[in-house]
Amino acid sequence: MSIFDHPDYDKHESISFINDASTGLKAIIAVHNTNLGPSVGGCRMFPYANSHAALADVLRLSSGMSYKAAMAGLPQGGGKAVIIGDPKTDKSHALMQAMGKFVNSCDGKYIIAEDSGISVADVNQMAKKTKFAGGNTAQYSIDGLPADGNPAPATSLGVFHSIQVAVEHVFNSDLTGKKVAIQGVGHVGLRLAKLLHEAGCELMVSDIFDDNLLIAEKQFGATIVSNSDIHKLDVDIFSPCALGGAINENTITSLGASIIAGAANNQLATNEMDRLLLEKGICYVPDYLANAGGIIDIHYQSIKNGSNVGLCERVAGISNTVRAVLEESSSTGIPTQTVANMKAEKILYSA
């Protein structure tokens, strides 16, 4: 199949591949759209079953970044990178530096940052070979803790605000006593658990590794549940914070929550899930609205004369975007992700 006929190809500007025998780097960079500015997006490292899966992921993730940046009002476009490999066993400084060199081949049209499987330390290695790296330095902090460039605190705060808005929209109430099921308690999910716990929510959590589950149980009173059951729980909010595709043809029939709002990119496995959720009366906060805190943070860190409070306020601005989309969906009967896509495309393609 040609790239241009790929089901996830969406007018992408460029797609670059590398197979570097000396370091073992196998990676893809997809630049979706630079109408609003250079594309920014994290690099995911994952043991993809094959290169088709990696290509589909990078195509979908990069177009999502364009929509996310447009709706967050940022002067930047959407791009993404994937490294095919196991982040637990296949990382080396040489591999990360080779990735940095690969980023240079985009001539500044792509700025790399962290995503699942890639840490600030990894981006620092890449930054030894490219100046087109972000999310590895910081002057402003979201949670009062020393900031290292990791955008996860800002992402968690944005998801938290999105959940607050959805709860107001659906229940006309605040978060006190609401039950939230969080799938994946990694960098974002665990921080989100803390924010929700402090707001008086009751938590249920699942993950494929135990360490953070035990922290969530001990520190936030969370109940640990199995990965196969988390989406079925009779809760107010289901928050996918692991990888994409949580809402798919298998899970859609057994969803137990009234609201879906989380950090994971590409939560809907297919576009038709958007309408199916609406038909089931489930309020879905489009993923790229809820999780925009990370790119807002990366952009804000480069601003002179900003402040910690200013960064928090900028992330809190996600609430207005989410509210506008939920209200328009309710008044028109158009599914939420479709409403968000239409708004984003207007910004992207009229630039």
Residues in the chain: 351
Whether 304 is catalytic is no
Instruction: Establish if 227 lies at the interface with ligand NAD (CB under 6 A).
Output: yes
Q: How far is the CB of 105 from ligand NAD (least distance, A)?
A: 23
CB of 262 to ligand NAD, least distance (A): 8
The one among 79, 184, 245, 286 contacting ligand NAD by CB under 6 A: 184
- In sequence order, which residues have a C-beta less than 8 Å from that of residue 2 and are 6 or more positions away? none
62 binds ligand NAD (CB under 6 A): no
Binding mask 201-220 for ligand NAD (x = CB under 6 A): -----xxxx--x--------
| Residue 32 binds to ligand NAD (criterion: CB under 6 A) | no
Which residue out of 26, 68, 80, 343 is catalytically annotated?
80
What is the rounded distance in angstroms from the CA atom of residue 61 to the CA atom of residue 336?
19
Q: Which of 24, 37, 73, 186 binds ligand NAD (CB under 6 A)?
A: 186
> Which token pair is 132?
């087109």
Contact 61, 265 (CB under 8 A): yes
85 is an interface residue for ligand NAD by CB under 6 A: no
Hey, which residues between 329 and 348 contact ligand NAD (CB under 6 A)? none
User: Which residues does 7 contact at the CB level (< 8 Å), separation at least 6?
Assistant: 56
250 near ligand NAD (CB under 6 A): no
Q: How far is the CB of 43 from ligand NAD (least distance, A)?
A: 10
Helix %, strand %, coil % of the chain (to 5): 40, 15, 40
Q: Is 151 near ligand NAD (CB under 6 A)?
A: yes
CB of 176 to ligand NAD, least distance (A): 25
61-65 CB contacts, 8 Å cutoff, 24+ apart: 61/30, 61/115, 61/244, 61/265, 61/266, 62/12, 62/30, 62/31, 62/32, 63/8, 63/10, 63/12, 63/32, 63/33, 64/265, 64/266, 64/287, 64/288, 65/32, 65/39, 65/40, 65/41, 65/288, 65/295
User: In whole angstroms, how close is the CB of 263 to ligand NAD at the nearest point?
Assistant: 4
Which residues contribute to the site for ligand NAD (CB under 6 A)?
A: 115-116, 151-152, 155, 183-189, 206-209, 212, 227, 241-243, 263-265, 291, 294
